[in-house]
Amino acid sequence: MKFLNVVFFSSLLIGCSSLQVVKEPATPLEQLRNALDQKFGDPQFENAHWGVLIKSLKTGEVVYARNEKKMFMPASNMKLVTSSAALKVLGPDYRYNTKLVTNGNIKDSVLYGDVILVGSGDPTISGRYNNGYVTETFEQWADSLKLLGIKEIRGNIIGDDNCFDEEFYGAGWSADYETDYYAAQISGISFNDNCVDFRIVPSAKVADVCSVFVTPNTKYVTVVNQTTTAAVEDSANEISFYRKRGTNTIYVRGTISQGKPPWIESVTIDNPTLYTVTVLKEIFEMKGIRVSGSAIDVDDQQDTLKYDTAKQLASFTSIPYSVIIRTINKPSQNFYAEQVFRTMGKEQGGVGSAQTGRTAAVPVLAAWGVDTVRLRYIDGSGLSRLNLVTPSDLVAILEGIAKEPYFLPFYESLPIAGVDGTIRNRMKGTKAEGNVHAKTGFIGYVRSLSGYVTSADGEMFVFSMVANHYTVPTRLAETIQNDVCVMLAEFTRGNQQSQLSRK
């Protein structure tokens, strides 16, 4: 009997072993997650760190997560924090108002007294919004003074920048950046993005210095031309700039071959307030208004300025913040982000500073679900390596602002894949082109991309992808980000039931 039972049991095992286990086909979402695992598990990044979170904007479903609660340096993804919070704190219709006032009196075409430029933190007094006409606002002010009958100013041109503190740079900014336009000094008074613009043209004669043109044409900077012109057949085409700290002497070095296009670059200046009033004085004089005094930073003014009896001579009102935000996000303009960061603090009743700007923004971020206790919000632009944020927090911001009435100006401020901004050359010829709206971020060993993408089903995803501490070329991190965006743009959840019925 035992023998029969053993035989029966053995036969049963043999029979069972011949049965095939039918595995359910992976759902489209499972397939997507597997593909994303392969992307972010690339062996080339085994010593680096990826932080990723992808969610359905409508349902909040987590599509994919990887180290989403870990802290990362975000680089310019910090602009998402600043620009979104400012829409709440300042409002999309916020405009800066910069005034030109005097405590003096006009008699016989002479203004007896100082002309005071009262700063508001406005970053927009430049040629950026008027076809490169850098000094247009100053020339309009000169015309306003002439309409008042002023032909001479017996006093100084004073710049009052006290709406902001005296911290020209963000905490954690590298001294190596000081000459570069993307690290322009922060100030309550600003002009031309606190830079001068260079145009370097090769000479008609080999070995001669190149021609150097500076806009605005001002005596505020001294240019030392150490360039040379190379022959046509020479491939040389490299110009560098150096401004010694605390000075406005700019060294221009390098070589351009004949036939090469002009080299165009902006270089920072020191002391934006003094720069602004110096150029303003020069424009007044160019327009026929004599100025007997000097251009002065309010910090060097002996007497305390009094405004209770001041008379307004002219003013400048900026474009609305709903337009300014595009300059922050599409070209990733650090200077604008830093000015707006401090403006939030100024408008909350204090002096504009990193601390007051942070204090103004934190309640907004907390309401959107950001862990503001852990957040390290050091500067407004992301240039500092001291900033730390999680992909989860970046997604929370993108989700939170999507529910606000001013979401559209934020969404439209983001670079569009293959179209404009910092991703204009990425994802071209794919389903992501014209679809992905996302902010880039880049500093040494950091590459980030966070934003929105719509799937083939019309489902909008919100995502954040941040790579830190990689040592491979940055383009490899970009390629992974691009590929993921394309995968999301092509994704369809499909109809699982109909797929099964067709089998």
Q: Choose among 363, 489, 387, 399: nearest CA to 443.
A: 387
Whether the per-residue pLDDT at 502 is higher than 80: the answer is no
Q: Choose among 317, 359, 296: nearest CA to 97.
A: 317
Quote the pTM value: 0.92
Q: Choose among 98, 75, 34: nearest CA to 314.
A: 98
Exposure string of 69-81, with b = 16+ CB inside 10 Å and e = fewer, is eebbbbbbbbbbb
Whether the per-residue pLDDT at 5 is higher than 60: the answer is no
- More reliable by pLDDT, 502 or 48: 48
Confidence category of residue 495, pLDDT binned at 50, 70, 90: low
Q: What percent of the chain has pLDDT over 90?
A: 88
Look over the chain and give the mean of its residue pLDDT values, rounded to a whole number.
94
| Intrachain domains 28-93+321-490 and 97-317 with the same fold | no
Whether the per-residue pLDDT at 20 is higher than 90: the answer is no
Superfamily of domain 28-93+321-490: DD-peptidase/beta-lactamase superfamily (3.40.710.10)
Whether the per-residue pLDDT at 24 is higher than 50: the answer is yes
Whether the per-residue pLDDT at 207 is higher than 80: the answer is yes
Supply the Cα-derived Rg of the chain in whole angstroms. Answer: 29
> 3-class DSSP state for residue 407?
helix
Domain map of the chain by residue range?
A: 28-93+321-490, 97-317
DSSP string computed for 59-80: T--EEEEESTTS-B--GGGHHH
Is 392 within 8 Å of 53 (Cβ atoms)? yes
CATH, domain 97-317, list 1.10.1060.10, 3.50.80.20, 3.30.365.10, 3.30.540.10: 3.50.80.20
CA 176/CA 497 separation, integer angstroms: 60
Question: What would the pLDDT profile of 281-308 be if each residue is shown by its tens digit?
Answer: 999 999 999 999 999 999 998 777 888 8
